[in-house]
Every structure is written in structure tokens, then in C-alpha cells.
Amino acid sequence: MDMKLDQDLLSIQEVRDKLRNASAAQKTLAEFSQENIDRIVKNICDAAVSEAERLARMAVEETGFGNVKDKITKNLFAARQVYEAIKDVKTVGVIAEDVDRKVWEIAEPVGVVAGILPSTNPTSTVIFKALIAVKARNAIVFSPHPSALNCCLEAVRVVQEAAVAAGAPNDIIQCLEHPTLAATQELMTHKLTDMLLATGGPGMVKAAYSSGKPAYGVGPGNVPVFVHKSADVAQAARQIVQSKSFDYGTICASEQAVVVEEGVKRLFLQELKKNGAQLLTAQEKERVAKVILNNRSLNVEIVGKPPQTLGKLSGITISENTRILVGEEVEVGKNIPFSIEKLSPILALYTVKDRREGSDLCLKLLEAGGLGHTVGIHAQDDEVIREFALKKPAGRIVVNSGTTFGGIGATTGILPSMTLGCGTYGNNITTDNIGPRHLLNIKRVAFGVREMANEDERKAISSGTPEETVEASANLNLEINEAEITKIILKVISQLNK
């Protein structure tokens, strides 16, 4: 007689089976040399590049988010640019040696990583997390969002087969085929799971941090961008439109509000229009505002949709060449639709008198839902940039670049990554762009370089004359560090002044 298993029970058993296999595979991978690991990582990169377009099409068709052209770019970024950034990173054996302090650093993998996947960037996140996990000699088990299951399964198949072809164990990269909330919970809390890489909504990230496991999570990216009067206004407008329209706004680092100084506002608006922005009338803005929120939460129907679809949902006419919608706003708050993270090509526009008002307003926008993530500034005055950056609770302050690309490290010098930490500002453990070093246990081998003085010797050193202090230290064969030398010099000066 056929028995239909309960879906939750089936999914939980699948998690346990995959974790058991992953743990065994990881123990084998942990013994691989750096050369073998690097060969596997290169093969994963090459396979992801060759399948970037097909995986992009699958992601758009299944989720309805974004567009194929930009999804291809995302996949290629996650493969090529991430690979180029990590390919020379040492992750096996002694990875650093401080000759002067006589300290060695030795890398050990963390073990089995649970990779939580979002629906907005599914295939690119698979590629990225697989690369950094294997580079650090870890196994990874993915839990896909149910609405992106098929494209995630295919992306995992591509990278897994590439890894095995280069010599990796069969079960080093796996994906749940029956994703449920129960399965994800089991994956995050199971004893064989060593670390979590969580990308998803606030609820999922909070669950990851509550799992009892070490976790790298993310936070919402309600990104404000300040356009100072010293900015190259034409460049700023072009970069902001390009960044905000990319994949229809599905990257969390994309601009959500632009704050412009009134002295350059007219020119800035002209440049926005040149680059494909449609400036909404007051009536049009109100109609769009009504579709942004759904019961005080972001309306999923607008996420990753083109401006023309947003126009249909709002009942307004949007031209075919429009790339983003811009609405002027004056209020800030979680109940103000234009001032929240919209994950779509909808941009709020605020006008300020000067840089102090602009800086304060950007801070308010971050506090409304984007603490710790990303903020941008367009300016040519280094003093303005420095002052702005020092006061912002954000892990990434992107200067003169679109924040979508600058935040992930595509157009800036920070580590290319698809997982962006928000630090304690956003209830995360780090503000870093996550990479393979975050998935390592680093041991320190520390040689003795000095003797520890006993109580009498310490008193003699601290209470004697400067000459006696130096002599006592020499007699004890103690290494005097810079702080100790400074202390002695100050003591000598003090006595001379007397």
C-alpha cells in the first residue's frame, strides 16, 4: 500500500541525509592541498560563466523578478569578479607569518555551511556562496526560496558537477529539493551544521541569528544618496539611473532615495530625464505610493518589476523608454511609502538647503530601515566626503558610483560579494562584504618572545629612576615595546623639567 509522507517530515529527513553526506564530504575536502582547492574553485567559476545566460533566464521565468540581461551580469559578477578577488587568497595550512612577532596563522575550515537563498538573486547567490565555501574547504547545503526552487536546483547542479569534475567529493555542494519552513529550521539548528550564510528577508535573517549557530546575515538596504553641490551632476544622474534600474532594483544596495542640494536640483532633474527617469506629478506619485505598501509591508507585486508594469498597477501611463520612476517626497518614516526600501525602480527625491541638512536627512532615512547597510554620496570636495562618511552608521559609504555596483564591489575597491554585512547597526556580526576568510577558523601559533616579570621586578621597573628602569629592563632581558619606550621618555622629560 502506498503511503504519502507528510511534506514537513519528508523535508526534515532530507536535511538530515544531506547534512550527513555533506559532513563526510567535507572531512575529505579538508585534506586537499591549496592547489587542488584552487583547481576546483576555478572549474566552478568556468562552469558558472558558461551557464550564466541559461540560469538567468530560468531565474526570471520562475520568479518573475528582474530581467534576463541584468541577471546574466549578476551571474557573471558572482563567478568572474568574485573568483578574481579570491583566487590568490590562501586558505590551506599556514596562510600568514609575522616574522617580527613570531606568529603564524593557520587556516582551518569551519565545516558544513547552510546557505539560505533569496528569490530576488537566486542563481547568482548560489554561484557566489559555492565559490567562497569551497575555497575555504567547506561543504555547503543550500535552502532555496520555494518560489525559486527550480533555478536554484539547476544552479547547484552546475556548480556541483563542476566541482566533482575537478576532483571534489560528490556531496560537497547540495541543495534541498523539498524546501519548507520546517526544513530550513532543521538545517539551521542541526548539530552537523557549523555556520549559516543567510540571505533573505528580515524574518529569515533573525531566525538565523536565533538558531544558536554562528551566522552571517544581512539587513534591509534603505540606501540614501546625497548629491552635493560640488558633484559632477551629469555623472551622478547617469550613475544613479543605471544603478537604480539594474535588474529592476532587486539588489539591496540599490538607491532608494536621492537627497539633492537645491542649488543643483534643476540641473540634476534635467540629467535624470536625459537618462530615462520619469518625474511623477503629485497625483501620479500618490497613485504609485498606494501600490508600494500592502498592509504596512512591501507589496511583493512591485518587487523586481519594470516601470511600465508599475505604471499599470498604479493606473498611470509610463513611456516605453522610462527606466525609473522618481517622486518628490518631504517626509520620512516606515509608513511613508517612498521613504522605505522598495526593491523596484522607484526612487524618492528629497531637496535640502545645504550639506548639513543633507547629511541629517540621509541619517534619518537610514534609521527608517537601512541601518548598517549602504549610503552614497556624489561630491568632488574631499572635506565634504570625509565629514559625511564619519557620521554615517553604514558598512559601505559609496563615493561617486552607483550604490548597487559600489556596494557589492563591482565598481569599487572593496571585496566583491553578494552578502553584505550590516554590523551591530543592523544586528549583524560584521560590516564586511563576506568572503572566504569569514568561513575559516584561523589558529595562531605564537612563540615566546619575552619573559614575564615577577611582582618585585615590575615594582623595580615602575618605581626606579629612568636610568634604573632601562638598566633593570635590560638585565631582565625584556623586550621593550613602543608604548614602554614612550612611557620612559615621558618620565625622563618630566624629571628634567623638575
pLDDT higher than threshold 70 for residue 21: yes
DSSP string, 353-384: SSHHHHHHHHHHHHHTTTTEEEEEEE-S-HHH
What pLDDT was estimated at residue 8? 86
468 pLDDT band, cuts 50/70/90, is: low
Rounded to an integer, the average pLDDT of 424-453 is 94
Task: Give the SS3 label for residue 95.
Answer: strand
Instruction: Kindly name the residue from 45, 152, 175, 252 that is annotated as catalytic.
Output: 252
Active site residue 422: no
- Report CA dihedral (41, 69, 124, 37) to the nearest 10 degrees: 0
What pLDDT was estimated at residue 469? 58
| Residues in Cβ contact with 356 at an 8 Å cutoff, skipping those fewer than 6 apart | none
Tell me if domain 7-217+436-444 and domain 223-413 are identical in fold.
no
What pLDDT was estimated at residue 1? 38
**Three-class SS of 239-304:** HHHHHHHHHHHCCCCCEEEEEEEHHHHHHHHHHHHHCCEEECCHHHHHHHHHHHEECCEECHHHCC
As given in the structure block, the three cell numbers for residue 129 are: 556562496
Q: Helices (DSSP H) in 106-191: which residue ranges?
A: 122-135, 149-165, 181-189
What pLDDT was estimated at residue 107? 98
pLDDT higher than threshold 50 for residue 365: yes
What pLDDT was estimated at residue 149? 97
As given in the structure block, the three cell numbers for residue 98 are: 609575522
pLDDT higher than threshold 50 for residue 3: no
- Is 131 in contact with 45 (CB distance < 8 Å)? yes
218 pLDDT band, cuts 50/70/90, is: confident
| Residues in Cβ contact with 96 at an 8 Å cutoff, skipping those fewer than 6 apart | 90, 104, 105
> Which residue did the predictor score with more confidence, 339 or 482?
339
Closest CA to 178 of 422, 8, 425: 8
130 pLDDT band, cuts 50/70/90, is: very high
Rounded to an integer, the average pLDDT of 133-155 is 97
478 pLDDT band, cuts 50/70/90, is: very low
Given the candidates 3.40.50.720, 3.40.605.10, 3.40.50.2300, 3.40.50.620, the CATH classification of the domain at 7-217+436-444 is 3.40.605.10
Rounded to an integer, the average pLDDT of 261-283 is 97
pLDDT higher than threshold 50 for residue 101: yes
- State the chain's mean pLDDT as an integer: 92
What pLDDT was estimated at residue 203? 77
Q: What does the alpha-carbon distance between residue 476 and residue 487 come to, in Å, rounded to a whole number?
A: 18
Architecture of the structural domain at 223-413: 3-Layer(aba) Sandwich (3.40)
What pLDDT was estimated at residue 243? 98
Q: Where are the domains of the chain?
A: 7-217+436-444, 223-413, 455-497
Site of grid cell 520546517: 182
What pLDDT was estimated at residue 475? 54
455 pLDDT band, cuts 50/70/90, is: confident
As given in the structure block, the three cell numbers for residue 242 are: 543605471
For 299-350, write each residue's pLDDT tens digit.
Answer: 999 999 999 999 999 999 999 999 999 999 999 999 999 999 999 999 999 9
Angle at the Cα of 424 (from 419 to 427), degrees rounded to 5? Answer: 70
